[in-house]
Amino acid sequence: MAKNYTGTAMKIIDNLGGLENIEKVIHCATRLRFALRNSSLADTEQMKKTEGVMGVMNTGGQYQVLIGTDVADMFDAVVKAGVADGGTD
């Protein structure tokens, strides 16, 4: 069964306070790393419940969403949904 990256990407964006709250996203080997305009708008508890999200960290000015080995596909879906592409870390 194919994974629904688009649906999960939209839930992640919503849990971060919407497109207008996200400055950019980058990714490393397992995490999406978001720069947020206002981190208090992020709903961490709801993010943790999102299918496809393995964990969450808010540290060092980055809101990090642990995705695992599917991170590149999820990154592409987040960027296609309208988040600025900050590249890879």
Active site members? 28
Quick one: which of 54, 70, 69, 62 has its CA closest to 26?
62
Q: Which residues contact 59 (CB under 8 A, 6 or more apart)?
A: none
Count CB-CB contacts under 10 A for residue 60.
8
